[in-house]
Amino acid sequence: MSLELVFQYLVSPTFIHGAIMTLLITVSSLVFGLLAGFLLALLNQVKFPPVKWLTVFYLWLFRGTPVLFQIIFIYNVLPTFGIRLSAFASGVIALSLNEGAYMAEIIRSGLQAIKSGQRTAGMALGMTRTMVLRHVVMPQAARIMLPPIGNQTIGMLKTSALVSVIAVEELLLVANQTASATFRYFEALSAAGIYYLALTTIFMAGQYWMERALEPKRSRVEKRSLLSALLQPAEDKH
Amino acid sequence: MTNPAFLEVTGVNKSFGPLQVLKECSFSVNKGETVVLIGPSGSGKSTLLRCINLLEPPSDGSIRFQGKEITEDLRNADKLRAQIGMVFQNFELFQHLNAVENIMLAPMKVLGYSRHDAHDLAVELLKKVHIPDRADHLPDELSGGQQQRVAIARALAMKPKLMLYDEPTSALDPEMIREVLDVMTELSADGMTSVCVTHEMGFARRAADRIIFMEQGSIIENASSDVFFGGEVSPRAQQFLNQILH
Ligand SMILES: Nc1ncnc2c1ncn2[C@@H]1O[C@H](COP(=O)(O)OP(=O)(O)OP(=O)(O)O)[C@@H](O)[C@H]1O
Ligand SMILES: [Mg+2]
């Protein structure tokens, strides 16, 4: 066991590259997953039955099969239809489509949590449906959706390791290859673990910061808990 | 009649599926008038109000606003609504915005006001509804009466030509009803045309030009305030009045 070797792995170009790949896969899958989820949630509200059924079918398909299956399927089956994609792109597409199914549910329940009276009030002021969605419903729904989306993000970071099966050079694959080549399992896997924990911490901090940013600004100063007072500097009130 | 009425509702029907909620409703409101709409629960008062600004398009019948038929142009319903203010029983202030921001939103997004102009307007309107010192309070930091007055200011910010109130004081404690009704009375006195669903007969006596009584989707009585409070009402309306005044 050598801590020095762990450190050398941490700063080695292959591990840094692996960590960047993991981050890239996670963030892109999340962004596309959110877009897919948003689209699905909106289509789900369309009153035309075939559209609604299509979204139900999508959710059934992507929640009813393993992600690993979806990754392998997209990577290996799409080329037979003439669609050639890199392993990275295949991985991101599979993870995004899968994530979309879960995000759709989160977004749908977030939108439904906003009482119809808020929409009516917006409409009564002459706002269009789009304006109401953007300025009345979304800002309120976002606060409700953020914690579950944060969970999904951290889940995605770990799920991203699955794309190692189609040989995307992400963190786990790099660690595993290094370990098999050198038999230094402890050091190689520790280095990967440290990167995973570091990335998770960054995401958690990001979620915390966004939750605070979305919180409406109270006019009265509220009593802050010790922990929150320690974690954040006192804000200046105008 | 030489001058067409400001708002003219003629033969409006409204059904939700098999349930007919409004039956051949006809009435008109002149510019500057305040009309109070009363009737038992479920008689269709809210639905009638929501038809006027097309939140519920009527099943058939005609609604003319400032001489123009509005029921045929549902695509531009948002432009109509921008000219008609509406106040709800549960205030419906936007929960994520403070009092000024609630007032500023529609002028900025719909009328294209700059943030600065919208803010000036909002501050002025908060003065008008007697709560200039609550500008940066969130809805849940305001009393019910204050919330409803912010909601009135929010509607006024669009410079509406007509105000619709749907039981604006029903969710309020007695001591707060007064402050909201005072604002509404002042607006009426300043010549704001309004249709108001309320069972506050004191307000009706003070501010209303006409009283409309509805039951089971039909307008049963439409009388000037003097006639109505002079005691010349139908037995059914009298019975309802006795009930709410007991
Ligand atoms: N969107 C809707 N879908 C189906 N039925 C509805 C809808 N809106 C109202 N109704 C029905 O129409 C009838 C009239 O409702 P409305 O809300 O207009 O009555 P109201 O006179 O305002 O009653 P209240 O005094 O209780 O507010 C009721 O029977 C109600 O259940
Ligand atoms: Mg009602």
- Domain membership of residue B232 (yes or no) is no
Q: How confident is the model at residue A227, as a pLDDT?
A: 54
In this prediction, the residues of chain A whose per-residue pLDDT falls under 70 are 219-238
| Amino acid at position A76, single letter | N
- Taking an 8 Å Cβ-Cβ cutoff, which residues of chain A contact chain B? 117-118, 120-128, 131, 135-136, 139-140, 143, 216-220
pLDDT digits (tens, 9 = 90+) for A49-73: 999 899 999 999 999 999 999 999 9
Nearest to B94 by CA among A130, A140, A84, A186: A140
CA atoms within 13 Å, Cβ hemisphere of A39? 15
Q: Containing domain of residue B144, as a range? A: 86-160
**Range from A163-172, B5-14, B111-120 carrying the lowest mean pLDDT:** A163-172
| Token duo for residue A234 | 């006192």
| Amino acid at position B32, single letter | G
Q: How confident is the model at residue B188, as a pLDDT?
A: 94
- Ligand closest to Cα of B214 equals 1
Q: Are B197 and B45 in contact (CB under 8 A)?
A: yes
- Range of A142-151, B150-159, B196-205, B229-238 with top mean pLDDT: B150-159
Q: In sequence order, what are the beta bridge partners of B8?
A: B28, B64
Find the residue in B nearest to A136 (Cα): B94
Query: How many domains is chain B built from?
Result: 1
How far is it, in rounded angstroms, from Cα B179 to Cα A107? 40
Radius of gyration of chain B (CA): 18
Give the distance from residue B91's alpha carbon to the nearest chain A alpha carbon, in angstroms.
9
- Domain membership of residue B123 (yes or no) is yes
Task: Among A118, A124, A131, select the one facing B94 at the smallest CB separation.
Answer: A118
- Domain membership of residue B172 (yes or no) is no
* DSSP H or E stretch at residue B85: strand B84-87
Q: How confident is the model at residue A231, as a pLDDT?
A: 54
Q: How confident is the model at residue A167, as a pLDDT?
A: 85
Nearest residue CA, atom 22 of ligand 1?
Answer: B46
Task: Among B55, B98, B141, select the one facing A124 at the smallest CB separation.
Answer: B55
CA distances from A104 to A56, A149, B24 (A): 11, 11, 44
Q: Is the CB of B198 under 6 A from ligand 1?
A: no
Q: Which of A114, A125, A138 to mutate to test the interface with B (most CBs of B within 10 A)?
A: A125
Q: pLDDT averaged over chain B? A: 93
| Amino acid at position B75, single letter | R
Q: How confident is the model at residue B239 (pLDDT cuts 50, 70, 90)?
A: confident
Give the distance from residue A31's alpha carbon to the nearest chain B alpha carbon, in angstroms.
25
| Token duo for residue A146 | 């953020």
Q: Is the CB of B14 under 6 A from ligand 1?
A: no
Give the end-to-end CA distance of chain B in Å, rounded to a whole number. Answer: 40
| Token duo for residue A91 | 């991985």
Q: Which of B12, B19, B21 to mutate to test the pocket of ligand 1 (most atoms within 8 A of CB)?
A: B21
Query: Rounded to an integer, what is the distance from CA B212 to the centroid of its chain?
Result: 14
Residues, CB within 5 angstroms of ligand 2 (ion): B 46
* 3-state DSSP assignment of residue B89: coil
Q: Is A3-231 a CATH 1.10.3720.10 domain?
A: yes
**Which sign, positive or negative, has the C-alpha torsion A124, B45, B156, B122?**
negative
Q: How confident is the model at residue B236, as a pLDDT?
A: 84
Residue-wise burial string across A78-111, b where 16 or more C-beta atoms lie within 10 A, e elsewhere: beeeeeeeebbebbbbbbbbbbbbbbbbbbbebb
- Domain membership of residue B92 (yes or no) is yes
Q: What is the mean pLDDT of residues B204-213?
A: 94
Q: How confident is the model at residue A214, as a pLDDT?
A: 86
Q: How confident is the model at residue B243, as a pLDDT?
A: 83
Give the distance from residue B117's alpha carbon to the nearest chain A alpha carbon, in angstroms.
18
Q: How confident is the model at residue B232, as a pLDDT?
A: 79
| Amino acid at position A93, single letter | I
- Domain membership of residue B121 (yes or no) is yes
Residue-wise burial string across A166-195, b where 16 or more C-beta atoms lie within 10 A, e elsewhere: bebbbbbbbbbebbeeeebeebbbbbbebb
Instruction: Estimate the crossing angle of helix B144-156 against helix B99-109, to 10 degrees.
Output: 20
Q: Is the CB of B21 under 6 A from ligand 1?
A: yes
Q: Which residues contact B205 (CB under 8 A, 6 or more apart)?
A: B225, B229
DSSP A157-175: HHHGGGGGGGT---HHHHH
Distance B91 CA to ligand 1 centre (A): 18
**Range from A54-63, A218-227, B99-108, B125-134 carrying the lowest mean pLDDT:** A218-227
Query: Contacts of residue A118 in chain B, CB cutoff 8 Å?
Result: 92, 94-95
Quote the pTM value: 0.85
| Amino acid at position B42, single letter | G
- Look at A136 and B82 and tell me if their CB atoms are within 8 Å: no
Nearest residue CA, atom 25 of ligand 1?
Answer: B41
Nearest to B103 by CA among B79, B86, B131, B125: B125
| Beta strand B68-69 pairing with B60-65 | antiparallel
